[in-house]
Amino acid sequence: MDYGDKLFWLSVVIQRKYAQICAEFDLTPSQATLLCAVRDEPRQMADLAASLGMTKNALSQLVDRTARRELVGRESSAQDRRVVMLGVTPTGKVLAEAVYAEVAKRLPEITRNLDADDQRDFERVATAIVDTSDLSSPASNQPITS
């Protein structure tokens, strides 16, 4: 397997572990990601779509499904009524915090078979990749449908 293959399978390992955690909370991975993205403060729908690498239409459908469960809500921005903001409901906040904590605790388990030095190296490299990625730019994200 070449490097690209290894990265592909790493993404599968991460996605599978994340999906297992989400299922324990009766959430799809997309719903859990949405809740975690707005758990601390409301975000503009357009910015959120760009950050998550989704089309606005796909995000709107995801929000509709999640809102039916009374976990998120839309509202107009106080500064510009044309801008739609998305935030968590009180129930959504509790669930988002629980999911986020569980993911932060259990996702690192994917490195359990590595020695301590390799675990530290993996953490350092993963941190560098995230820190140097532009997660807010739509150009850096390929649209995903959900």
pLDDT one-digit tens code per residue, 40-50: 999 999 899 99
In CATH terms, the fold of domain 3-134 is: Arc Repressor Mutant, subunit A (1.10.10)
Q: What are phi and psi of 72, to 5 degrees?
A: -135, 160
- Going from N- to C-terminal start, the domains of the chain cover 3-134
pLDDT of 141 > 60? The answer is: no
Dihedral angle over CA of 35, 37, 39, 42, nearest 10: -110
pLDDT of 144 > 50? The answer is: no
State which amino acid sits at residue 134: D
Q: Residues 118-144: what's their mean pLDDT? A: 76
Which pLDDT score is estimated for 82?
82
